């Protein structure tokens, strides 16, 4: 129970729309208008799906899970927690999944899901947007993404089951302490030991610190910790 009263489960109420600009945009509008914790927006198709750092996110109709949840009093590590939850859901499809900090979910080194957390901390809500490439075929990706994007290779009929699994797994992770989230991210850390470049420097990824930041060890032995959102990473 939260200070504001009993919390319902995730996914209720559920607004499902055939075509939307962006499920995150709609969920933000609902959150700002007072929608309760757990409110879910899904779409078959987005006309203007949004990604992190101003990028766009697109998928052919009906082949991706396109979902956004309104969360009240979200945990500090929500972006990392969401990556872990999605990785667990991907593994239910029989593949092993890693997380590329902060929350890109990789299968076989390819990104199969994207997560966009937006919110108003002062109003104590966040919108957790998750796109999962459930049933995309290799040809569905634009040429510039064909080497890096991946798919769970399921059928379009699996989108609803993927959503149900995601809500169940997320609900469990939202109850868990931050240390458990950090342990899980460290176990799935796709960047550890890789050479990282970002706008202000480069070095070797050396794990995730207690704040959920990416630790980088530079050539001279010094360490820096990067906050999600402040960097656009390249890695080899």
Rounded to 5 degrees, φ, ψ at 210 are: -65, -20
Smallest distance from ligand BTN to CB 89, Å: 14
Rounded-to-integer distance, Cα 155 and Cα 63, Å = 8
Question: Cβ distance 80 to 182 under 8 Å?
Answer: yes
Closer CB to ligand BTN, residue 113 or residue 216? 113
Q: Helical H runs in the chain?
A: 23-32, 78-92, 159-174, 178-187
Nearer to ligand BTN, 22 or 98 (CB): 22
Least distance in angstroms from the C-beta of 47 to ligand BTN: 10
Q: Applying CB under 6 A, which residues contact ligand BTN?
A: 22-24, 46, 49-52, 55, 57, 66-68, 114-116, 129-131
- Which residue lies nearer to ligand BTN by CB, 52 or 206? 52
* Nearest distance from C-beta of residue 212 to ligand BTN, angstroms: 17
Which tokens go with 200? 């202000």
Q: Please, what is the minimum distance in Å from the beta carbon of residue 116 to ligand BTN?
A: 4
Residue 11 near residue 38 (C-beta atoms within 8 A): yes
Comparing CB distances to ligand BTN, the nearer of 51 and 60 is 51
Question: Are the C-beta atoms of residues 89 and 165 closer than 8 Å to each other?
Answer: yes
């Amino acid at each position: 129970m939260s200070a504001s009263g009993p919390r319902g489960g995730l996914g209720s109420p559920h607004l499902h729309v055939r075509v939307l600009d962006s499920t995150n945009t709609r969920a933000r509008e609902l959150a700002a208008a007072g929608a309760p914790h757990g409110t879910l927006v899904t779409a078959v198709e987005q006309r203007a799906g949004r990604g992190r750092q101003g990028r766009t996110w697109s998928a052919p109709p009906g082949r991706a899970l396109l979902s956004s949840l309104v969360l009240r009093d979200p945990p500090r590590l929500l972006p990392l927690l969401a990556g872990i939850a999605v990785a667990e859901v991907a593994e239910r499809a029989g593949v092993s999944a890693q997380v590329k900090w902060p929350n890109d979910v990789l299968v076989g080194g390819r990104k199969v899901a994207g997560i966009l957390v937006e919110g108003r901390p002062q109003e104590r809500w966040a919108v957790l947007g998750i796109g999962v490439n459930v049933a995309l075929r290799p040809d569905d990706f634009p040429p510039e993404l064909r080497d890096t994007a991946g798919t769970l290779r399921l059928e379009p009929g699996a989108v609803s089951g993927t959503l149900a699994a995601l809500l169940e797994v997320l609900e469990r992770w939202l109850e868990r302490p931050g240390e458990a989230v950090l342990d899980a991210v460290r176990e799935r850390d796709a960047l550890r030991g890789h050479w990282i470049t970002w706008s202000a420097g480069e070095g070797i990824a050396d794990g995730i610190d207690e704040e959920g930041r990416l630790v980088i060890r530079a050539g001279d032995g010094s360490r820096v910790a990067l906050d999600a959102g402040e960097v656009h990473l390249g890695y080899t």
